[in-house]
Structure 1
Amino acid sequence: MGSYSELLKTRGVARIIAAQLTARFPSGMLSLAFLLHVEQQTGSYGSAGLVLAATSIGQAVAGPLTSRMMGRFGMRPVLITTLTICVAAIVAIGVIPPVMPLYLGIGLLAGLATPPVQPAVRTIYPKMVNSRQLTPLFSLDASAQEIIWVVGPVVTTFVSTQIGTIWGILLAAALMVVGGAWFISSPELGRVRIPRSKRRFGVVLARPPVLLATVVGFLLVGACAAIEAGVVAVFGHGGPEAGIVLAIFSIGSLAGGLFLGHAPISPWSTARRMFIVFAGTALAAAAMDFWWLAGTLFVAGIGIAPALAVLFAIVSASVKFSDTAEAYGWVGTGQLIGAALGSALAGFLIDGNGAQGAFWAAAALAFLGTLVPALAKRWHPDLRGRDASPMPDTEPVPITPS
């Protein structure tokens, strides 16, 4: 844990982690806020699901596009523009009349304009710390983001059910403004400029480590989405059990990220960490009991943040600095598609086989997430004793005072 203490003492690290977590916190609120509000307005969960699907499609399409635009126009202009449009769209969902074509169009716009905070901050990290600290920083980031998924839904549920669904949406929008402004005003965004990429859009995805990270991220997040659907199907919405189990699942990820984040990254690291997720998930499918699910999903969670940290590190070490933001955009798009597929597959199996079917789906996805990096280990960078920073571009990268 000493490495994390040293890391947080590095100038600007604690501030930039806190700022980007605040800016991204609405990600853990909006899906549930939209679901509750649209269902209340239209009386249909199906309609609410369509709005969420439109938003997710927009996010998946925009990820690599807006990330690449930061190299062309600068991080601050892109972040300010997308933040303004996204907040306006979110507020509109809360205040417009319940007309489905409008909901769908505005949901799509909100997704397309989602600020690329995650690609931006992971592009900045290598410029803030030395090579020895970069992998623990990626792990700390992956662990800390669990706060978003533990606290966000709880806050949204409380505000939406006790005060009103529109207030759940407006709170998410307000946090997006505060967090976005804090992140955009961070001095690091003024000191680091992403050089404009000379390669065609999408070419970075052809790099084997980037493709590997995108595919494994797709399978990992798909497994997590199926687990979430299965837990809700087991316990329903009537009591706290589902929320408690999912919180324990996230706490497992947080603990795993903190305790395994400093471990050296070898070609087998992703497969080993994904195997932890698979083993816990496969055990969870054996019984739909509260304590059994809490224990086995804690085990599964231990592998999640460490696996994500490895994916972020191998992407960073495999691309030029000018391509890092776009590469992380593609990884994010893979994760969004995985979440949608995992939820859909789980829902289909829940209808046919009960809640246990969701855990079968999650175990299958996690198994593939173990198998793919094991078979592709020749394309997995060996970062033991190596710098995980991006490869330098052929031209100097200017660093200017903020």
Structure 2
Amino acid sequence: MRSYLDLLKTPGVGRILAAQLTARFPFGMLSLAFLIHIEHAYGSYGAAGLVLGAMSIGQAIAGPLTSRLMGRWGMRLVISITMSICALAIVVMALVSLPIVALLIVGFIAGLSMPPIQPAVRTIYPKLVNSRQLTPLFSLDASAQEIIWVVGPVVATFVAIQVSSVAGILLAAVFLVGGGIWFVLLPEVGRVRIPRSKRKIGAVLKRPAVLLSTIVGFMLVAACASVEAGVVAAFGHGSSDSGWVLAIFAVGSLVGGLALGHVPIGPWALAGRMLIVTIGMGLASLSLNFWWLSATLFLAGVGIAPALAVLFGIVSASVRFSETAEAYGWVGTGQLIGAALGSAVAGFSIDHYGPTSAILAATGFALLGCIIPTLGRRWHPDLRGRDASPIPDTEPVMVVS
């Protein structure tokens, strides 16, 4: 814990962590708020899953594009434009009664314009701390972001049930705009300039570690999205129990991230952390009892933040600084496509086979997320005793002879 306290004392680290968590807090609210809102309005979890999937697909497409644009236009301009469009789309979805097709289109626009806070902050981190502190900072960040998933579902469920689902969605929009403005005004955001990448878009995926991180992130988030939908369906939109179970799930991730943050990242690190997630979700499928789900999903959560920290670390150590934002954009795209697929699969499974089927689907996604890094461990950088900072960009230097 002392190393984490030292990190927070480093100038800029605490405030950039707080600002980006506030700007990304809606991610912990919107899925549940829209799930409750759309299921209540249209009477179908499948319809809700499709809308959430459309949002995720839009964000997945935008991920590498908006991340790359930050190297051309700067972080502040890109984040400000996308934040404004996204907030407007979310408000329309909440306040305007639309047919499902129109709702899918607006949801896609909301996802397409989701501000690229995560790639931005991952790019800033190596400029805030020294190489020795970078891996613990990734772990602290992955753990701290679980606050989003601890508090977010509880807030969304409470507001949606006690006030209205519309109020829950509008509150998420307030966090999006307020946190986004705070983030873009930070001096650290203005000081870090991402060099323009000289390679074609998508070329960074040729780096094995980036491709591995993108695929495993896809599986991990698909599993989480399926579990979330299954838990909500198990307790119904009229109960706050789903919010509490998902909060406990996130607490497990927070605990795991802090506890395993200093464990050296070897070639088996990703497979080992995904194994924890797989076991926990597999056990969760055995019963829909509140306490059983809480205990087993806490166990599953213990592997999530450590797995994310490994993903961030091996990407950072494998790419040039000019490629970091795009690389994290692709990793985010993989995760968001996973969220779309996980939500859609879970929605249709629940409609046809019940909530347990969604948790079984989550277990399958997590198992694949364990098998893939096991088979591809030669692509997994061994960071034990190594610097996790991005590779410096170098150019030929003219000399006078």
Scaled to the shorter chain, the TM-score interval is over 0.9
Q: Greater shift after overlay, 39-48 or 252-261?
A: 39-48
Runs of 4+ that moved beyond 6 A: none
Query: Paired residue for 2:159?
Result: 159
| Structure 1, gaps ≥5 residues long | 397-402
- Please tell me whether residue 391 in structure 1 is matched to residue 391 in structure 2: yes
Number of aligned positions between the proteins = 396
Deviation at 1:231, TM superposition (A): 2.4
Residues 205-244 of structure 1 deviation map (CA, whole Å, 9 limit, x = unaligned): 1210000000111111111122223323433334333322
Deviation at 1:156, TM superposition (A): 2.4
Query: Paired residue for 1:81?
Result: 81
Contact 2:64 2:327 (C-alpha < 8 Å) held by counterparts: yes
Deviation at 1:131, TM superposition (A): 0.9
Query: Paired residue for 1:187?
Result: 187
Query: Paired residue for 2:399?
Result: none
Q: Greater shift after overlay, 231-240 or 277-286?
A: 231-240
Query: Paired residue for 1:400?
Result: none
Deviation at 1:94, TM superposition (A): 3.0
TM-score between both structures, scaled by the size of structure 1: 0.92
- Please tell me whether residue 124 in structure 1 is matched to residue 120 in structure 2: no
Q: Greater shift after overlay, 289-298 or 313-322?
A: 289-298
* AA matched with 1:9: K
CA gap 1:43/1:216 in 2 versus in 1, 3 angstroms: closer
Query: Paired residue for 1:322?
Result: 322
* AA matched with 1:259: A
Query: Paired residue for 1:260?
Result: 260
Query: Paired residue for 1:17?
Result: 17
* AA matched with 1:243: G
Q: Partners of 1:82 and 1:101 in 2: how far apart?
A: 23
Q: Partners of 2:101 and 2:355 in 1: how far apart?
A: 33
Percent of aligned positions that are identical: 68
Query: Paired residue for 1:220?
Result: 220
Query: Paired residue for 2:207?
Result: 207
Q: Partners of 1:205 and 1:95 in 2: how far apart?
A: 40
Q: Partners of 2:74 and 2:382 in 1: how far apart?
A: 32
| Structure 2, gaps ≥5 residues long | 397-401
Q: Greater shift after overlay, 243-252 or 44-53?
A: 44-53
Query: Paired residue for 2:243?
Result: 243
Q: Greater shift after overlay, 13-22 or 137-146?
A: 137-146
Residues 364-385 of structure 1 deviation map (CA, whole Å, 9 limit, x = unaligned): 2222111111111111011111
CA gap 1:104/1:338 in 2 versus in 1, 3 angstroms: closer
Q: Partners of 2:297 and 2:165 in 1: how far apart?
A: 30
Deviation at 1:17, TM superposition (A): 0.3
* AA matched with 1:374: T
Q: Which residues in structure 2 correspond to 1:223-302 (within 5 Å)?
A: 223-302=223-302
Q: Partners of 1:95 and 1:235 in 2: how far apart?
A: 26
Q: Partners of 1:350 and 1:165 in 2: how far apart?
A: 21
SS for the counterpart of 2:256 is helix
- Please tell me whether residue 176 in structure 1 is matched to residue 149 in structure 2: no
CA gap 1:386/1:274 in 2 versus in 1, 3 angstroms: same
- Please tell me whether residue 331 in structure 1 is matched to residue 308 in structure 2: no
Deviation at 1:387, TM superposition (A): 0.7
* AA matched with 1:91: V
Residues 313-335 of structure 1 deviation map (CA, whole Å, 9 limit, x = unaligned): 00011001111111111111111
TM-score between both structures, scaled by the size of structure 2: 0.92
Deviation at 1:41, TM superposition (A): 5.3
Query: Paired residue for 1:139?
Result: 139
Query: Paired residue for 1:2?
Result: 2
Deviation at 1:149, TM superposition (A): 1.7
CA gap 1:93/1:194 in 2 versus in 1, 3 angstroms: same
Deviation at 1:296, TM superposition (A): 1.9
CA gap 1:12/1:204 in 2 versus in 1, 3 angstroms: same
* AA matched with 1:178: G
Deviation at 1:102, TM superposition (A): 4.0
